[in-house]
Amino acid sequence: MTTGARIDWAAHKTRLVDAATADRAWYQAVARELVAPGDRLAVDVGCGGAGMALAVARHMTCGRVLAVDAEPAIVEVARARIYDEWADPRIRVDVALVDMDDVDSLRDTVGGHADLVWASAVVHHLGDQQRGINALAALLAEGGRLALAEGGLPARHLPWDLGAGDPGLELRLHAAEDRWFARMRAALPRRRPMPYGWGEALRRADLHPTTTATTLTELPPPLPSPERRAVVNSLANRVDRLRDTGLLTPADLDTWARLLDPGDPCWLGGRADLFLLEARSVHVGLRG
């Protein structure tokens, strides 16, 4: 699924649609805060399963929401989801194939000044993140808001001691993911460091004032089966991404293989002590 810096997003299409469905309540709550009365044009950049595009549309009274993504297979699933879920003729919800690195075609596709631009977990995939943020800020109308969902705290799901392998397995997964992330960024074309936080990046794009709000999501154990399944699938995906990188030890990979095998007595899907604890940050800058 991943070769060096190049992520095959098409291979993630089902996971991204599942995530957009599972995160529906979070999207709704965030959209309620972000959409202002009178908003007419909103853009969801790097839309994945179009979860935010749909949530924003639900809070607008008229106008247009445009979801864009650089991966044709993702555009296809986003379009299918919008077709299934959206019927209100007062708000048009469109999907377009655009690479946000191509600043001119992004601007031409949006075709006007946006009241709200949302970009979740996409800017960190650009070599030059500040350039990307500047391009998103340039799409805004006066009074428009750019919201970046980036950072927060990595999700926790497992007790420290699982009774299988060495304790602290999940913390070592987080550490390995952090090193994977550094490698991913190091291999991006036109990479430029951004050695300051997201708020400062918004200010450098001429957006003032800026705010950051972080939401804690907590589901205590025992998780209902759909949530438990989603947690196990997400862990399986994350371990899979790291499998051939050398970032997890053979001993930890063996433990994960047992935990993720439905035929093994240690299978995570059979445990009542999985939980969900996650903090997600949204950084907003205003075109004043």
Which residue ranges make up the site for ligand SAM (CB under 6 A)? 9, 16, 19-20, 46-48, 69-71, 74, 99-101, 120-122, 125-126
Instruction: Map residue 2 onto helix, strand or coil.
Output: strand
**Smaller CB separation from ligand SAM, 39 or 71:** 71
CB of 263 to ligand SAM, least distance (A): 31
Query: Which pair of tokens denotes residue 70?
Result: 């650089």
**Smaller CB separation from ligand SAM, 20 or 259:** 20
Give the helix/strand (H/E) hosting 149: strand 140-156
Instruction: Indicate the residue whose CB is closest to ligand SAM.
Output: 48
Closest CA to 212 of 199, 201, 203: 199
**Smaller CB separation from ligand SAM, 75 or 259:** 75
CB of 78 to ligand SAM, least distance (A): 8
CB of 140 to ligand SAM, least distance (A): 18
Please name the residue that has the structure tokens 């709550």. 29
**Smaller CB separation from ligand SAM, 27 or 275:** 27
CB of 149 to ligand SAM, least distance (A): 6
Bridge partners of 69? 97
Chain center to CA of 233: 16
Q: What's the angle, vertex CA 159, arms to CA 158 and CA 160, rounded to 5?
A: 110
**Smaller CB separation from ligand SAM, 33 or 99:** 99
CB of 157 to ligand SAM, least distance (A): 18
Q: Which amino acid is at 220?
A: P
3-state helix, strand, coil in the chain (%, to 5): 45, 25, 35
